[in-house]
Structure 1
Amino acid sequence: MIDEEAPDAFEANRRYLGSVAYRLLGTFTDAEDVLQEAWLRWRAADRAAVADPRAFLTTVVTRLCYDQLGSARARRESYSGEWLPEPSVSYASAPDSPAELAERGESVSLALLAVLEQLTPAERAAFVLHDVFAVGFDEIGDSLHRTPDAARQLASRARRRVRDGGRRASADRAEHRRAVEAFAAAALGGDLQGLMAVLDPDVVWTADGGGIVRAAARPVRGADKVTRLIAGSVAKWFTPELRLALAEVNGEPGMVWYDSTTGAVAGVLAFTVADGLITGTYVVVNPGKLTHLGPFEGPSTGA
């Protein structure tokens, strides 16, 4: 962890910088390592000569992440099964305020982070900085050692690839929550017709077990196949000790399941929803990607 006596300008921007690093790298552990190194560089810098500490620190963090993305991509190519980002989970009943969302960047869904894995490091950096955090292209170009026009082109290309590679999704939060609640009720109740009714015909189930927990090695496509997979998973996974609860997953309605005895989170589900139907599910059960969540702290629910 970063020393509590870190310079004020760094601490004032720490949450923002952590949000940038997480969205660039997809893991909280790597993001924290980047923040530690960025703090060391900030401490060694001639801070009196820094006109805009936030811009300076954003550049430092971006360059550190950019350096990591190449090696991270190579590691993920040899990863067992599908690789998904580490999820962020909260149990608050109300969404974050607009100010909090702006500070972290509004586009934080697990689905979007998964799509960003398809981009080159430069495309990802340009897209995240501009489209998520509204950083100007002059600053992005400086961070990536590119011209502002080149940075603009990177962001534009990334935007097209994100649009083409993402699942259909609605911005209607109430619609999203209703679909998730219907999914939970049908899954836990063994209601296969209810599941089919809430799943888009072309729904895609993507699971990340990391080779540690058994999970589908490749995405499963189609409502019929996904329904059968869910029914089998519920029968296998949900022992009397396991509970399912609604939660905010990367700022959107999702679910977690956890051990009621220890409180340990055993899995996280995120969704994309369009026209009232679930178009994509993202399931993280790799224990190494859940330890940062700590024990379950939400309202108690039944299985």
Structure 2
Amino acid sequence: MTDIDSAPVDAFVAQRRYLGAVAYRLLGSVTDAEDVLQEAWLRWQAVDQSQVGEVRPYLTTVVTRLCYDLLGSARARRESYYGEWLPEPLVSDDDSPAERAETGESVSLAMLAVMEQLSPAERIAFVLHDLFAVGFGEIAAALGRTPDAARQLASRARRRVRDGGRRCTVDPAEHRRAVSAFAAATVKGDIAGLLAVLDPDVVWHSDGGGVVTASVRAIHGAEKVSRLVAGLAAKWLTPGSGTSVGFAQVNGELGVVSYESSGRIGGVFAFTVTDGRITEAHVVVNPEKLAHLV
């Protein structure tokens, strides 16, 4: 007896969180991932399920192919995007082992941004194999390639991700200390404190999408970034503004979240930390990319 004997809706719901994690890592968009899941559900309802062996591999292939079709058009849209395009962030208070086991390896905003440089096939091979331990045979079937070709795609993607990313700290305690120091200095408008925690070659990325004011291009260097952050703090955190900041897990790493007076999230800040200093920041303030957050 296979697990397909359960009711179709139960079989899909049991895999939904996993499938959503796959789709998000492939697309970098919560909104697009939800659209993919909706289409996958419609296709699941229409299929002759007596011909399906195992549910998870089958649905993973369906979601992968839908994402593959979307990635090409998404790249075209992002090329015409106003300013820097950053992924939609995931914000959570939960980073437990159970959470990671259910949703795969966490992927930082920095890595998702680097993954934008990959071809759709490279991204699929890398995400499925490296983050979800899917075999190359299954990946090959989803892409219409041979297993050897899928292995080569993953290897090439892995190399490009490594070369395109900045070396980061794997020690959560060191990451937390740097982010906490950044937040404390920001709230105080303490430029000296910011300079102490920012790497001299820090890079600040921000995404306002033309809806909210944000730098159109990346800002380089601790001096420029510290002045920018102090200026933003003076504007946002004035007495009576109702704006506040707090900590949260942003794509599996400690980050900072700003809240408007209404309680709505107005900005999400994710950081890359190396040798105790922040080397990169990814800031999403485009409200369209924060609408999914509560």
Q: TM-score, normalised by structure 2?
A: 0.95
SS in 2 for 1:195: helix
Deviations 1:153-211 (A, max 9, x none): 11001001101111221111111111000000011111111111111111110000000
Structure 2 residue aligned with 1:21: 23
Matches of residues 267-286 of structure 1 in structure 2 within 5 Å? 267-286=267-286
SS in 2 for 1:135: coil
Structure 1 residue aligned with 2:118: 119
Matches of residues 142-221 of structure 1 in structure 2 within 5 Å? 142-221=141-220
Deviations 1:8-53 (A, max 9, x none): 2211111000000011111111111100111111111111111111
Cα distance in 2 for residues equivalent to 1:110 and 1:225: 22
Deviations 1:232-270 (A, max 9, x none): 1112222331001011111110010011x3101110000
Deviation of the 1:102 alpha carbon = 2.3
Deviations 1:117-162 (A, max 9, x none): 1111111111100010010000001001010010001100100110
Deviation of the 1:7 alpha carbon = 2.0
Structure 2 residue aligned with 1:234: 233
Deviation of the 1:212 alpha carbon = 0.6
Cα distance in 1 for residues equivalent to 2:237 and 2:91: 20
Of the three residues 65, 72, 75, the one matched with 2:74 is 72
Structure 1 residue aligned with 2:4: none
Structure 2 residue aligned with 1:243: 244
Deviation of the 1:230 alpha carbon = 0.9
SS in 1 for 2:292: helix
Deviation of the 1:111 alpha carbon = 1.2
On the 8 A contact 1:85/1:114 being kept in 2, the answer is yes
SS in 2 for 1:15: helix
Q: What amino acid does structure 1 have at the position aligned with 2:202?
A: V
SS in 1 for 2:65: helix
Q: What amino acid does structure 2 have at the position aligned with 1:244?
A: V
The unaligned stretches of length 5 or more in structure 1 are 295-303
The unaligned stretches of length 5 or more in structure 2 are 1-6
Cα distance in 2 for residues equivalent to 1:133 and 1:87: 19
Q: Once superposed, what is the RMSD of the aligned Cα atoms?
A: 1.2
Structure 2 residue aligned with 1:91: 93
Structure 1 residue aligned with 2:262: 262
Structure 1 residue aligned with 2:292: 292
Pair 1:34 & 2:30 matched: no
Deviations 1:78-108 (A, max 9, x none): 000000111111235xx322x3202211132
Percent of counterpart pairs with the same letter? 69
Q: TM-score, normalised by structure 1?
A: 0.92
Deviation of the 1:6 alpha carbon = 5.4
Q: What amino acid does structure 1 have at the position aligned with 2:140?
A: G
Structure 2 residue aligned with 1:135: 134
Count, aligned residues = 286
Cα distance in 2 for residues equivalent to 1:96 and 1:67: 33
Cα distance in 2 for residues equivalent to 1:128 and 1:68: 15
55-64 or 42-51, larger mean C-alpha shift = 42-51
SS in 2 for 1:248: strand
Cα distance in 1 for residues equivalent to 2:21 and 2:90: 11
Deviation of the 1:215 alpha carbon = 0.5
Cα distance in 2 for residues equivalent to 1:161 and 1:87: 22
